[in-house]
Amino acid sequence: PDSKVSDIDGQPYTTILYGNGPGYATPRIVPMNTTTASEDRNQVHGSAVPRQWATHGGEDVPVYALGPLATTLFTGTFDQSYIPHAIAYSACLGEHRLRCQGIDNYTAPQVTCVAPEVSSVAAAGAPVVIASSVMADDGTRPRSAAGRVATHLLSLAAALQFAVT
């Protein structure tokens, strides 16, 4: 045991254990799984070491994440020791510091527009209608208003260029 002692019964205990706190009882009480939802929030779980307040209660703790890789790295159930490693990976810290400098560190593929073939009608100077199937589109849309405006202006400029030539 470590030099720590319980503040309830004065007995020493090992700090590397999950399950100390006010839920200690002798004899050990095994709770039934028949509580209702309103009773669950007030339930005190059993513990191995009597303490007034839990320092290692063993309860689940929610983790909320937002940003790049949040839904990839922080989904489901995981051990607490995973969290700092996932944060370091996402933020390119420590052993992951070079990850963000790689060529594969982007969220959307780069798309280049391919100029359509000039038909005999367009070559003769007749007006040309450009269908949406002619323009390259990877299916993603810019999220910002400025990005949408820029995309529309580029599309309009391309349409005018092909209509004039």
Predicted pLDDT of residue 106: 57
Predicted pLDDT of residue 28: 56
Whether 19 contacts 57, CB under 8 Å: yes
Predicted pLDDT of residue 73: 92
C-alpha to C-alpha distance for 8 and 81, rounded to whole angstroms: 30
Name every residue whose Cβ is closer than 8 Å to that of residue 150 and which is 6 or more positions away in sequence.
142
38: tokens are 């309103």
Q: Which pTM does this prediction carry?
A: 0.35
Predicted pLDDT of residue 67: 84
What's the pLDDT tens digit per position in 80-119? 889 999 999 988 899 988 888 876 665 565 667 776 666 6
Whether 44 contacts 35, CB under 8 Å: no
- Polymer length of the chain: 165
Question: Tell me, what amino acid is at 30?
Answer: V
Predicted pLDDT of residue 38: 52
Question: Tell me, what amino acid is at 25?
Answer: A
Residue at token pair 């009480």: 29
Residues in the chain where the model's pLDDT stays below 70: 1-3, 13-18, 26-46, 56-59, 103-111, 115-165
85 annotated among ligand-binding-site residues: no
- Helix, strand or coil for residue 70? helix
